[in-house]
Every structure is written in C-alpha cells, then in structure tokens.
Amino acid sequence: MATTAVDKNSVGLGERQYHIGIAPGEVSTVALLPGDPFRVPMIAEFLTDVKTVAHQREHLTMTGLYKGRLITATSTGMGCPSTAIAAEELIRVGVTSLIRVGSSAGLQTGIRPGDLLVSEGTLRNDGTTAAYAHPGYPAVPDLQIATSLAETARSLTAGTSTTVHSGLNVSDDAFYAETPEWIAELNGLGILNVEMESSALFVVARLRGVRAGMICAASSNLHDGTSLYDGVKEALAAGWMTSIEAALETAVRLEL
C-alpha cells in the first residue's frame, strides 16, 4: 500500500509555528537568542513597549523597541536540536538575522568569567548538523555581524576589566562528557570556547539564506580550572548584560 510521507519543509508555512507558538507578523526581522527562557526578560530590560508574544516549551518570545527598532528575543533551550527548531521556525515567520547571546566556557589561558566571546566559526561536534549537511560543511557566522559584535563589545568594555575575545569555538552535545583529554585537545587546536548551540544556528542560517552571529559571556575556564560551581554567577550576569547590549547595538548599526 502506497503512503505519502510528510515533507516538513513544506507544511506549516504561513501559519502559527508548532513549537515556538509564533505566527508571521508577530516578530521583528532580527532576533536575539539566549538559551535560557529566564534570560529573555533580561533582554527586555533594554527595551520599551515590551510584549510577550508566546511561551511554549523552552521557547519564550518577547518583543520591544530599542532605539526605535523592533527587536525580538526568543529562548532556544539547551543544545543544537532545540536551537535548530527555534531558528527554523523564526525564519518561517520572518526573522532574517539571528544573534545568539549565551554562556560559554573558555578553553584558552586568560579567559575569565564575564569576558566576552565572539564567534568567528564553530567546530561541529554535534549530531544535529550532521542531518543537515556534509561533515565538511563549515558552520560560520555572517562576517559583518561577527565584526560588528566584536567592535561594539570592545567599545562598550573600553576602560573596564572585561576582555573581548574573538576566534573559533566548538559546539558539543554532551555537557558532562567533556573529559580533561578533550579539553586539552581543543586547547591545542586553539579553540577559544565551548558551548552547545552555535553550530546548528550557523548551519541552519546559511542553508536558509539568513544571517547569524554569536556573542557569549564566559561562564568559566575549563583549561585554567574554573568551573561553573566556583561562584562566578555575578561576573557571568554582568557579561550577559554587556553581550545583550552589544547585540542590540549591532542590530541598530547594521539595520538588521
């Protein structure tokens, strides 16, 4: 008996999206993407005329104005699978630029909690992007967005103790499977930091013809022995706020 398989790339277009709960016309063309839904209200602190658009599963979406420009903030949840879903569905409802503002662990000596980390490309150590593209397909941000994020962050932190680092990062799937040997290998490759979402964000953005970037706050330094359990929350929170401001200024500067 013949069956008709569902083409997920064709169903649901022009409709309210199944996972994030957003319909076309409800969001901006630019979205800031924290992982944690509790950080969406942190973005909203910078905005006026704030509205909650939807909250389904790990995906909380709010909109508001920053310097006269409509901004969307949507949480992706942890890891590449949920990030890919959020990115796909945001693109379906009209978002054309995606900027991740998250947390990331440093892998090179001297990166301190609260420092800012701008991605210039991601080592794809995840399973999700393998379903999208050839293993050699690069996961890279939009060059103009990455450059603006770094320049803006350096301007915002001038004269402070916060350092802005730019370079290659890695996206891992298994947080607690990162061994000292793996951390040492990444350090030897010159990988700046490790997080769990950017490879999916960059690959989906490139395949769908939109722009993406990432600026993270350093949560720890796995190479230097600073873990998330070492009382770094205050420095991390300050880094989040600066990374958010850098992303907002980039959105205005580039008219995203």
- pLDDT tens-digit map of 120-161: 999 999 999 999 999 999 999 999 999 999 999 999 999 999
Band of pLDDT at residue 223, cut at 50, 70 and 90: very high
Q: What is the pLDDT of residue 161?
A: 95
pLDDT tens per residue, range 169-195 = 999 999 999 999 999 999 999 999 999
Q: Give percent of the chain with pLDDT exceeding 90.
A: 94
pLDDT of residue 228 exceeding 90: no
Residue 230 in this model has a pLDDT that exceeds 80? no
The answer to whether residues 199 and 171 touch, using CB atoms and an 8 Å cutoff, is: yes
- Domains of the chain are 30-253 (3.40.50.1580)
Q: CA-to-CA distance for 37 and 229, rounded, in angstroms?
A: 21
Region 84-112: mean pLDDT is: 97
Instruction: Output the CA angle 226-167-199, nearest 5 degrees.
Output: 90
Burial class for 159, CB neighbours closer than 10 Å (0-12, 13-18, 19+): exposed
Quick count: other Cβ atoms within 10 Å of Cβ 104? 30
pLDDT tens digits for 33-51? 999 999 999 999 999 999 9
239, 113 contact by CB (below 8 A): yes
Residue 229 has pLDDT above 90, yes or no: no
Sequence-ordered strand ranges (E) for 57-163: 59-66, 69-74, 97-106, 116-125
pLDDT for residue 235 is more than 80: yes
CA distances from 68 to 109, 119, 121, 216, 241 (A): 40, 27, 31, 25, 20
pLDDT at residue number 232: 80
73, pLDDT greater than 90:
yes
Between 226 and 133, the more confident residue is 133
pLDDT value, residue 226: 85
pLDDT at position 231, please? 73
Backbone angles phi, psi at 12, to 5 degrees: 80, 0
Q: pLDDT band at 1, cuts 50/70/90? A: low
CB 104 within 8 A of CB 195: yes
Phi, psi of 170, deg, nearest 5: -125, 145
Burial (CB count <10 Å: 0-12, 13-18, 19+), residue 29? middle
Q: Which has the minimum average pLDDT: 109-118, 124-133, 147-156, 223-232?
A: 223-232
Q: What pTM was estimated for this model as a whole?
A: 0.96
Q: Is 194 exposed, middle or buried (0-12, 13-18, 19+ CB in 10 A)?
A: buried
